[in-house]
Structure formats: C-alpha cells, structure tokens
C-alpha cells in the first residue's frame, strides 16, 4: 500500500515540499504519496486535530511549516534535544500511536554549508544573526561543527543571551547586540537567520563583520541577492548562498528518518535554485 505523507502550513500554496519529496521518492523507488495540507489557524486545537486525523487515517509522517512549528512541538509525545532547544519542529513521524518530533532545519543548514559549499566550520569564527525558530534549531548543529567561536546577535538581545547561557556548556557561544558588532572583528562565516529579507529589509549589521576570504549565507531562498547578501558582496565576501540548499537538505534528512534511505540532493537543489544575480 502507498504510504502517505504531507506538509502542513498556512498559507501552503508556496510550498516546494511535495515536489522535493516526489523527486526523492522517484529517485529512491519508494512507494509513497506526499501532499500539501492547509492547516486551520482557528480554533486553537484544530491544528492538532488535523494532524491526529491524518495519522489516524494511515498517514506516516508530516513536515510542518509556518506558523505551526511550535504547536507541532507542543503536541508531540517525544522529541529530540535539538527540537527541545528550538521549541519548534519541522518533521513528525507517526509510529505505534505516538507522535515523534524532530527539527532538521539546523542539520540541513550545516550540511549545505559544509558539504555542498565545501566550507567546514571547525576552527572558524561564525556569526549568526537572529534568534527565532530557524536560528534556535541551528545552534546545536553549529556547535557540533566545532567553530572556534559562535556569536549570536539579535535585535532583542535578551533572547540571544538566554540561548547562549543555555548552551554555554556545549561550546564557545556568546551573545551580543548589533551595536557591539563593530568591535567584534571579522567572521569567516556570517549567517542571516533573521526574517528581515522576507520584507526586503537589512538587519543593522556593519560591513566590518565580513572577511574577504569568508562566506555569507542567507536562510531565505528564491529572493536573489537580498540586502544582506548585497552588503556582503560589496564588502568583498567571496562565497554567497541562499537557503535553497538548506531547504532540500532538511527534506533529505526527514526522508531518511521516515524511509531509512538518504536521497541524492544535488539535482534537486539545482532544479530549485534561482540564480542570485
């Protein structure tokens, strides 16, 4: 029997997940169907009811996107440490009546940077802008990649400070505000995990953080050269990327978790890439 999966979000019309998982299923020969579900925003419990109904009618797993990542975490019976830290999940598996939750965004991001872009983070100075769901999901995977220093910056600096305090035993992480960045020197890798690019805005980051041999990564995708990437390019950064590789890599992690087989990602990334220039 064909196994059923879905992505749930609202709005959901923009999602690339059915295309990505359809290509993965074709490539790996898996008998599965993957659809998109527009989740209900109201009343509060309607989201959980929709997920439970999908599982009760034979659904095997779901991807979860905005604005439901927190609600999905809250309804799970089990979740991984990185999901706990993020307080948000982007993948669910339904097994023996239980809902198991994972957050693959951070692993997907690290894999895109280290494997696809060929930029190992070990021994490097890394700057992360933003302390929302995506940044939170990335912190443990980033520290596992052993940078010499991970600096977390947020507009509301208290959020960044709380995260850095929570993770201080796991690696060299520190938090600061945008106003402190001029004094922080250059970074080998600067990652924009804010949502500023979705509205064409630029976080107040000074060009002095970028280094000439360094890299700049924008989590938003399909938006060409965002103000952040443009600033980095003008500052002389030589490697740029947007989040399309992260999107495909997190999908591959979920696929492997569900199906026990890891699909190839290169051709799918190429197919979804919108050139930056």
According to the annotation, is 15 in a ligand binding site?
yes
CA angle in degrees (0–180, nearest 5) for 185-188-191: 95
According to the annotation, is 81 in a ligand binding site?
yes
Query: Residue 82: CB partners within 8 Å, gap ≥ 6?
Result: 102, 103, 106, 107, 137, 140, 141
According to the annotation, is 17 in a ligand binding site?
yes
- 131 vs 190 by CB, closer to ligand NDP: 131
According to the annotation, is 42 in a ligand binding site?
no
CA distance 102 to 82: 8
- What is the nearest approach in angstroms of ligand NDP to the Cβ of residue 201? 4
Nearest to 38 by CA among 10, 59, 19, 61: 10
- What is the nearest approach in angstroms of ligand NDP to the Cβ of residue 231? 13
According to the annotation, is 80 in a ligand binding site?
no
Give the chain's radius of gyration (CA, Å): 19
- 154 vs 211 by CB, closer to ligand NDP: 154
Q: Which residues bind ligand NDP (CB under 6 A)?
A: 105, 130-135, 154-156, 159, 193-198, 201, 203, 219-221, 243, 246-247, 250
Does 69 participate in catalysis according to the annotation? yes
By beta carbon distance, the residue nearest ligand NDP is 132
- What is the nearest approach in angstroms of ligand NDP to the Cβ of residue 237? 19
- 188 vs 218 by CB, closer to ligand NDP: 218
Whether the CB-CB separation of 120 and 142 falls below 8 Å is answered with no
- What is the nearest approach in angstroms of ligand NDP to the Cβ of residue 137? 8
- 52 vs 159 by CB, closer to ligand NDP: 159
Catalytic residue (choose from 69, 71, 93, 124): 69
Render 55-80 in DSSP notation, one character per residue. Answer: HHTTEEEEEE-TT-HHHHHHH-SEE-
Token pair of 147, please?
A: 């940078």
Active site residues: 69
């Amino acid at each position: 029997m064909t196994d059923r999966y879905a992505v749930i979000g609202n709005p959901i019309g923009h999602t690339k997940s059915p295309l990505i998982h359809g290509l993965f299923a074709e490539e790996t020969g898996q008998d599965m169907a993957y659809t998109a579900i527009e989740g209900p925003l109201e009343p509060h419990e309607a989201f959980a009811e929709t997920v439970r109904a999908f599982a009760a009618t034979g659904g095997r797993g779901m991807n979860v996107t905005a604005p439901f990542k927190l609600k999905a975490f809250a309804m799970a019976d089990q979740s991984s440490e990185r999901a706990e830290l993020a307080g948000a999940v982007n993948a669910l598996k339904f097994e023996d009546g239980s809902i198991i939750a994972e957050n693959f965004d951070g692993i997907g991001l690290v894999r895109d940077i280290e494997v696809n872009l060929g930029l190992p983070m070990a021994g490097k100075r890394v700057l992360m802008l933003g302390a929302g769901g995506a940044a939170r999901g990335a912190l443990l995977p980033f520290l596992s990649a052993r940078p010499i220093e991970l600096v977390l910056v947020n507009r509301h600096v208290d959020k960044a400070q709380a995260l850095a305090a929570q993770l201080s035993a796991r690696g060299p992480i520190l938090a600061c505000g945008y106003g402190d960045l001029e004094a922080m020197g250059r970074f080998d890798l600067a990652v924009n995990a804010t949502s500023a690019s979705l509205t064409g805005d630029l976080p107040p980051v000074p060009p002095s953080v970028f280094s000439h041999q360094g890299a700049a990564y924008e989590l938003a995708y399909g938006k060409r050269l965002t103000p952040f990437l443009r600033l980095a390019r003008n500052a002389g950064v030589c490697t740029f990327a947007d989040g399309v590789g992260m999107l495909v890599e997190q999908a591959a992690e979920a696929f492997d978790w569900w199906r026990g087989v890891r699909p190839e990602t290169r051709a799918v990334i190429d197919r979804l890439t919108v050139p930056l220039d």
